[in-house]
Amino acid sequence: MAIGALVVDDSATMRRMIIRFLKQSDLPDFDFREARDGEDALEKFDPDRTRVVFADWNMPRLSGLDLVRELRRREREPITIVMITTEATPDAREEIEAAGGVEVYVTKPFSAEDLACAVRPALKGKAA
């Protein structure tokens, strides 16, 4: 059974690229849903089937930080949150770590292999 995955980015191109990279990888199969920002993500988040969220950090309407907080409040089963951002400075990483709730941090630009390597450890045991 595929892992329910929610891909959140205000760039449709980035969403497509993330999905394509994940499909190309040797990771378990995903059942993808897409969201264009944090508020859209909350509407599409299904606590019964979403097991991993790939979220951009800088988004309109609801930031990645606020999205993580809300997802953690709504989750029923543990979900893996992968934060994808252009912000690679130590300040940004500290902000994300201080906020808590993010298990994987991926910096743009990244390759398909970079993404798979970053995500693989966090997905162990997620595939049914």
Cis amide bond preceding 60, omega within 30:
no
CB of 95 to other proteins, least distance (A): 13
Name which position in 26, 43, 48, 91 contacts other proteins (CB under 8 A): 91
Asked if 49 contacts 24 with a C-beta cutoff of 8 angstroms, the reply is: no
Q: Is residue 20 involved in binding other proteins (CB under 8 A)?
A: yes
If the CB atoms of residues 13 and 43 are measured against other proteins, the closer one turns out to be 13
For 50, phi and psi rounded to 5 degrees? -75, 125
Count of beta carbons in the 10 Å neighbourhood of residue 114: 14
Residues 23-62 that bind other proteins (CB under 8 A): none
Stretch that binds other proteins, among 44-52, 61-69, 88-96, 97-105 (CB under 8 A): 88-96
